[in-house]
Amino acid sequence: MNKILLFTFLFIQIFTNAQTSERNLSSEKWKFKNVKENNWFTASVPGTVHLDLMNNKIIPDPYKDENEKKVQWIENENWDYQTSFNISSKDLENQNIELIFNGLDTFSEIYLNGKLIQSTDNMFRKWTIPVRQSLKNGENILQVKFRSAVNVGKELAQKVPFTMPESPRSFVRKAQYQFGWDWGPRLVTAGIWKDVKLNFWNIARLDHIKIEQKILTKQKADLNIHAEIFATEEGKYTFSINGKSQNISLKSGLNLISIPYQIQNPKLWQPNGWGNPNLYDIKVSLQKDSKMIAEKSEKIGLRTVELIQEKDEKGKSFYFKVNGKPMYAKGTNWIPGDSFSTRMTKEKYQHLIKDCKDANMNMIRVWGGGIYEDDEFYKACDENGILVWQDFMFAGSFYPADEKFQKNVELEVKDQIERLQNHPSLALWCGNNEIDEAIVNWGYQKQFKYSKEDSLQVWKDYKKIFHEVIPNSIQKYASSDKQIYWESSPSIGWGHKESLTEGDSHYWGVWWGEQPFEIYNEKVPRFASEYGFQGMPTLETTKSMFSGNPELDLNNGTIKAHEKHSRGWEIIENYMKRDFIVPTDFVKYNYVSQLLQARGMQIAIEAHRRSKPYNMGTLYWQLNDCWPVVSWSSIDYLGNWKALHYQVKRSFENQVILPEEKDENLDFYVINDEFKTFENVSLEFDILKFNGEKKGSGGAAEVRTLESNGGLNFDSFLLEEIIGDADRNEIFLHVIVRDEKNEKIIAESNYFFAKPKDLKLPKPNLKIRKISSTEIEISTDVLAKDVYLIGDTHFSDNFFDLLPGTSRRIKLSKPLKKIEVMSLWDTMN
């Protein structure tokens, strides 16, 4: 009790001494209604109209059954949100009071006590409104009136003389995926999607701390701390950085100050797999006459990032140098974690980014059709050593560029740069997703019968936004060490050969082009920023598609509705037939669809890594989902790892051995992404029958050196010599790469000589033994291919091959009463 009293006392002391304070208005009682109706309902802020309607039982959950269709009317309506709050005479003694909306979705008019104080037209901007004059002592009424973004978009579209693809989505500065995507439902939201607060301040306000890294050496980091200070009183102030104070003079109005700050013997921020992502606290404060005026704190990391593009005999390199060393980028693409992004929690962000770290990734691309992510996302990336490729939020369409739109984009870019740039994880700003590609390759001009002038206008508008407005804003607002700009991802569409010799590439010959997975071995780009294949979500997530009893049947309407690609089911089935026996049983189909996806991505990732340093990055499409759906994700909506995520973890290990069959040979590539040289490395393999019987063995004649951050084609063998007269369908190869000096296995792999459907697998006798409530041991007599542990828990490993006569221990995230298990054999018999 005493402690609480003391704490309250201290808190009041600080609160009253400080000249700045905040009040959160999100936690006030909010209500909402359809403009056309009279009844008010309770609302949540931050939130969105769909969730409010759901919470009031006015609409069903759009993620369940086929309900998405039933809620489409919402996007055409206008919605009023309202709250009231009290202001005391003491509050009004503050010189300045601002109302701050961190995010409004999207077209709204804000009224305070009946007076219009602001109109908004961009979901990605922050709105700061001076309100001292509009506030009154006692109760104050705050209203936010939203207009349908779809209807506003349609009005804007009419002003353009030609039809824009997927109109009207590109006219509205709002998350584009809400208009429906090939993995996402159409749920065009409205609402107060981020916090609302009142900011009270006196004398001066401290804004936007920009931390610029000037010099970084082993001995020191020279930083410049830039601050924007708006002062109402001119005079002498004290500015402190981590307790180190300095006198400054401020004029009344806006002041831009820059103060050098040094860190001795800096510990670098290292990407995952290279070391620790060390972080430093930078606390700044502004004082006047020993009174605290304002304080701010930032967490930074000391690192350098460069994008290296140098001409070479094949084209142009494309890779990131991090802390002066070339980094092979391993990672994935991020989409919003929920169609109702306000539902994302800190825990979910932390979990998904930790899952990236655990799968040996070091980079993630925030895809341009979603949102500039929540602060917690970037914080998690900072803490886990995951670099961020940050798209601006423009995707797969044409965009207007009238003056109003340009200004709007500039302010959006400014807000986002100011919010994000101090994060050490931030590596690159990218203008957009697939817009250059859409203009050049997707044939919209023909489809919508554009005149020559229309087509020229589209290109002119593109250049305005992505060659001028955005890069100019980056130069103006971003710190000098955070200015890498890449105009469009991909830079060149996958139909053009240059997409493989320079820039970044989205290779969609697999899936969209329906080419076989093996084509990945030929189509290796300099930097693969997208490629992917769909797989079904786990059973738990599949079941969650139903409000009632799940009907697990491929022909069920609900199951079908949770695949958003128009030909998705067909493409999956076509590919499945090529490599697997297509099961009729739903659970087995679900399992094989995941194996298929993992197999495709394994082939791609291995092709990319084998080509290091020609290829220096591989980011598969996509990490996560925004609802329960069949998609390209490796982690489903409920956070469960699909077979792909387990595979990615294996394929992204720092040291890997990647066998490749070429003509009559089997080559063994060994790749090392660590900055550590292995001097005496040996390679040995066995050829085994599925029952464990050894058919042969071999190895590299000599030990070799595996260079730091290097890779080599270790050795090549004539296939005939390895296999002899054995049936390719009855054997596999097990290979080990050993560091002889330290007597340690550094990589291990299995290689099959036939497609899964052709393997003559014997029935494994799989046994599970309980070690503790959260650990099991699984064993087999003969080879168990693609062992699948089934249960609503996270298994530390799953979808793995268990070698003949071996066992493996697996940890469970939570205890299970019953664990079922199957393997590929079960789908073939």
- Report which DSSP code applies to 825: G
Residue 790 · residue 816 · CB < 8 Å? no
Residue 173 · residue 412 · CB < 8 Å? yes
* Cis? peptide before 46, omega within 30° of 0: yes
| 365 binds ligand BMA, rule: CB under 6 A | no
Nearer to ligand BMA, 563 or 653 (CB): 563
3-state class (DSSP) for residue 337: coil
| 166 binds ligand BMA, rule: CB under 6 A | no
| 391 binds ligand BMA, rule: CB under 6 A | no
Q: What φ, ψ does residue 17 adopt, rounded to 5°?
A: -75, -40
The structure tokens listed for 469 are 């407005």
φ/ψ bin of 741: left (φ > 0), alpha (ψ from -120 to 50), beta (otherwise): alpha
Nearer to ligand BMA, 127 or 494 (CB): 494
Q: CA-to-CA distance for 297 and 521, rounded, in angstroms? A: 48
| 621 binds ligand BMA, rule: CB under 6 A | yes
The active-site residue, picked from 434, 487, 653, 730, is 434
Residue 709 · residue 800 · CB < 8 Å? no
- 720 an active-site residue? no
Q: CA-to-CA distance for 310 and 499, rounded, in angstroms? A: 15
Only one of the segments 54-62, 140-148, 178-186, 582-590 lies at the binding site for ligand BMA (rule: CB under 6 A); that segment is 178-186
Query: CB 576 → ligand BMA: shortest distance, Å?
Result: 18
| 825 binds ligand BMA, rule: CB under 6 A | no
Nearer to ligand BMA, 450 or 507 (CB): 507
Residue 669 · residue 655 · CB < 8 Å? no
The active-site residue, picked from 530, 563, 606, 730, is 530
| 169 binds ligand BMA, rule: CB under 6 A | no
Residue 203 · residue 288 · CB < 8 Å? yes
Residue 214 · residue 226 · CB < 8 Å? no
Q: CA-to-CA distance for 481 and 483, rounded, in angstroms? A: 6
Q: What mask, x for binding ligand BMA by CB under 6 A, covers residues 742 to 781?
A: ----------------------------------------
Query: CB 188 → ligand BMA: shortest distance, Å?
Result: 17
Nearer to ligand BMA, 191 or 568 (CB): 568
Which residue type, as a one-letter code, is found at position 180?
A: G
The structure tokens listed for 209 are 């701390």
Query: CB 621 → ligand BMA: shortest distance, Å?
Result: 6
**Scanning the structure block, which residue is given the tokens 């006198």?**
247
Interface with ligand BMA: number of residues (CB under 6 A): 11
- State the pairing for strand pair 96-101/305-308: unpaired
**Residue whose Cβ sits closest to ligand BMA:** 182
Which residue type, as a one-letter code, is found at position 692?
A: G
User: Residues 168, 191, 396, 804: which binds ligand BMA (CB under 6 A)?
Assistant: 396
Q: CA-to-CA distance for 560 and 568, rounded, in angstroms? A: 10
Nearer to ligand BMA, 429 or 621 (CB): 621
Q: What mask, x for binding ligand BMA by CB under 6 A, covers residues 577 to 616?
A: ----------------------------------------
Number of residues in the chain: 829
Q: Which of residues 53-82 bind ligand BMA (CB under 6 A)?
A: none
Q: Which of residues 304-323 bind ligand BMA (CB under 6 A)?
A: none
User: Taking every pair of C-alpha atoms in the chain, what is the biggest distance, in angstroms?
Assistant: 94
Nearer to ligand BMA, 181 or 378 (CB): 181
User: Residues 81, 179, 181, 732: which binds ligand BMA (CB under 6 A)?
Assistant: 181
CB neighbour burial string for 328-366, b if at least 16 within 10 angstroms, e if fewer: bbbbbbbbbbbbbbbebeeebbbebbebbbebbbbbbbb
CA atoms within 13 A on the CB side of 82: 16
User: Residues 48, 176, 433, 529: which binds ligand BMA (CB under 6 A)?
Assistant: 433
| 506 binds ligand BMA, rule: CB under 6 A | yes
**Scanning the structure block, which residue is given the tokens 């693809």?**
165
Only one of the segments 175-183, 189-197, 338-346, 766-774 lies at the binding site for ligand BMA (rule: CB under 6 A); that segment is 175-183
Nearer to ligand BMA, 315 or 396 (CB): 396
Nearer to ligand BMA, 52 or 434 (CB): 434
- Which helix (DSSP H) or strand (DSSP E) does residue 426 occupy? strand 426-430
| 434 binds ligand BMA, rule: CB under 6 A | yes
Query: CB 533 → ligand BMA: shortest distance, Å?
Result: 10
Nearer to ligand BMA, 182 or 295 (CB): 182
- 674 an active-site residue? no
Only one of the segments 180-188, 191-199, 659-667, 718-726 lies at the binding site for ligand BMA (rule: CB under 6 A); that segment is 180-188
Query: CB 626 → ligand BMA: shortest distance, Å?
Result: 11
Query: CB 506 → ligand BMA: shortest distance, Å?
Result: 5
| 530 binds ligand BMA, rule: CB under 6 A | yes
The structure tokens listed for 532 are 């992917």
| 183 binds ligand BMA, rule: CB under 6 A | yes
User: Residues 61, 182, 228, 358: which binds ligand BMA (CB under 6 A)?
Assistant: 182
Query: CB 433 → ligand BMA: shortest distance, Å?
Result: 5
Handedness of CA 546, 550, 552, 554 (dihedral sign): negative
CB neighbour burial string for 435-455, b if at least 16 within 10 angstroms, e if fewer: bbbbbeebebbeeeebeeebb
Nearer to ligand BMA, 273 or 369 (CB): 369
| 625 binds ligand BMA, rule: CB under 6 A | no
The structure tokens listed for 566 are 């128009």
Only one of the segments 176-184, 185-193, 237-245, 683-691 lies at the binding site for ligand BMA (rule: CB under 6 A); that segment is 176-184
Nearer to ligand BMA, 32 or 334 (CB): 334
Q: Which of residues 435-454 bind ligand BMA (CB under 6 A)?
A: none
Nearer to ligand BMA, 205 or 562 (CB): 562
Residue 657 · residue 673 · CB < 8 Å? no
For residue 10, what are the contacts with CB-CB under 8 A and spacing of at least 6? none
Bridge partners of 204, per DSSP, are 231
- Which helix (DSSP H) or strand (DSSP E) does residue 24 occupy? strand 20-24
Q: CA-to-CA distance for 765 and 809, rounded, in angstroms? A: 16
* Cis? peptide before 213, omega within 30° of 0: no
| 529 binds ligand BMA, rule: CB under 6 A | no
Only one of the segments 181-189, 301-309, 351-359, 818-826 lies at the binding site for ligand BMA (rule: CB under 6 A); that segment is 181-189
CB atoms within 10 A of CB 805: 12
Residue 531 · residue 510 · CB < 8 Å? yes
Nearer to ligand BMA, 506 or 645 (CB): 506
Query: CB 632 → ligand BMA: shortest distance, Å?
Result: 6
The structure tokens listed for 237 are 């102030």
| 533 binds ligand BMA, rule: CB under 6 A | no
Only one of the segments 100-108, 177-185, 306-314, 772-780 lies at the binding site for ligand BMA (rule: CB under 6 A); that segment is 177-185
Query: CB 565 → ligand BMA: shortest distance, Å?
Result: 7
Catalytic residue set = 434, 530
Interface residues with ligand BMA (CB under 6 A) are: 181-183, 369, 396, 433-434, 506, 530, 621, 632
